Amino acid sequence: MASAPKRPKAAAGSSARGSGAAEPLSGFLAWCGRAGVQLSPKVRLSREGAVAGYGMLAAAELEPGEVLCTVPRSALLSQHTSSIQALLREGQESLQSQSGWVPLLLALLHEYTASNSHWRPYFSLWQDFRSLDHPMFWPEEERRKLLQGTGIPEAVEKDLANIHLEYSSIILPFMESHPNVFDPKLHTLELYKQLVAFVMAYSFQEPLEEEDEDEKGPNPPVMVPVADILNHVANHNANLEYSPQCLRMVTTQPISKGQEIFNTYGQMANWQLLHMYGFAEPYPSNTNDTADIQMVTVRTAALQRARSEAQQRLVSEQWDFLCQLEMVGEEGAFVLGWDEVLTEEELSVTLKVLCMSEEEFKEYKEQDGWEDDSEEEENLTLSNEALSRLKPPCKQLLYDSVLLTLESYRSDLKAEQDLLHNKEAYEKLSQREKQALHVRYGQKRILHQLLELVH
């Protein structure tokens, strides 16, 4: 589910109760002092002036390389620091899951509801999770209507299936075997789902050391107080650094007094941001935005232009061969960025193979897909300029595939453009409609740019 280091989105929105946001924040800052979290005097945490929820703002001018906050590892909330760490360690065999998140989620279920939890002031920033507005909480009909074609509805369906499966097959049995710690009436599926969204939006995963990347799975997620308050933009001005004793948020560029300080969750496209964090960056600020062409869509386009049964059989054989080469798969996608194709080898080889004659394909198969040709290397880098130089049959196949992809959306580019440029109409949209519009519009702009390049 998660990958890059991250923080909240439009999250903490409506959650503070009582005498407004200042009270939970001052309680949290006092807790930070006790927990050894150091906050630079040059920054302040606030709702005022932040793009969403809480944020970190510069209280003075900052130079690149300045430490904004230092969080000792003892202040991280994880399966290893929770008050039920021994219980989780003892049951670790039964807590294995596809996501790898179950131990942290059990720790959160306990700490969030325990009246004497050490983490209570931290959780007071989110006294309920209703402000998390991930698409998984949208009614299915609304999700389909606003996000059809973006890839998000399919990702959410997988998430919800995994959440239900983990809760019923791992969480419930574990809770039932520890009735003195857990109560299924309190620790419900609904709360579990909210905590999954909380981990999606606010947790961090420490990158693996290079030598461990092949042997180990990713590190489990952890909650990092203060660091998780920073909002995200592609053009960020701070990032999180890891050391054996602590984690530090450090500036990466000069920041003026009063400016908001932004972290990055990694190079995230808008559909990923909305899916995992509940927000999207307004067009055109997300330079990391991408659009997908489903791999099976390219197969469909190739089959549609096959004029005879023999040609259709050839396309099917070519597709099967590409599957053997692990270039394509039934659920895979070719990923297009603003300046280049990010899955360049896969798309380059797929277009080439699907555009081969029977003779060329036979020869190619005999070489097991290898060719000693220096031109091949150059063709693999699919920059925008290289796309415009593709051979005509490859261009046509790509063009047809983009048209099929654009058909999967409910609206066209012009309608979205009009909506974005009509301030009055745009302001009438709900928050969900605005976020979905930015996702759809960015993807369609990338797809239309590709149409022009290969036309």
Average pLDDT, the chain: 90
Helix (H) or strand (E) holding 2: none
Angle at the Cα of 192 from the Cα atoms of 196 and 88, rounded to 5 degrees: 90
Look at the domain 23-75+225-277 and name its fold: set domain protein methyltransferase, domain 1 (3.90.1410)
Q: How confident is the model at residue 233 (pLDDT cuts 50, 70, 90)?
A: confident
Q: What share of the chain in percent tops pLDDT 70?
A: 91
Please state which of the ranges 124-128, 290-294, 307-311, 342-346 shows the lowest mean pLDDT: 124-128
DSSP annotation string for 71-125: EEGGGSBSTTTSTTHHHHHHTGGGG--SSS-HHHHHHHHHHHH-TT-TTHHHHGG
CATH for the stretch 84-223: 3.90.1410.10
For 126-159, the pLDDT digits (tens) are 877 877 899 999 999 999 999 999 999 999 999 9
The pLDDT of residue 18 is: 34
Q: Tell me the sheet residues that pair with 241.
A: 248
Report the chain's C-alpha Rg in angstroms: 25
Cα(292)–Cα(417) distance, integer angstroms: 20
Domain chopping of the chain, boundaries: 23-75+225-277, 84-223, 291-367+380-454
In this predicted structure, the answer to whether residue 11 has a pLDDT above a threshold of 80 is no
| Position with higher pLDDT, 52 vs 339 | 339
The pLDDT of residue 213 is: 64
Q: How confident is the model at residue 370 (pLDDT cuts 50, 70, 90)?
A: low
The pLDDT of residue 53 is: 80
Fold matches, 84-223 and 291-367+380-454: no
For 96-106, the pLDDT digits (tens) are 988 899 999 99
Range among 5-14, 20-29, 248-257 with highest mean pLDDT value: 248-257
291-367+380-454 domain in CATH 3.40.50.300?
no
Q: Tell me the sheet residues that pair with 240.
A: 249
Q: Per the omega criterion (within 30 degrees of 0), is the bond before 284 cis?
A: yes
**pTM of the full structure:** 0.88
Please state which of the ranges 216-230, 262-276, 311-325, 377-391 shows the lowest mean pLDDT: 377-391
The pLDDT of residue 148 is: 97
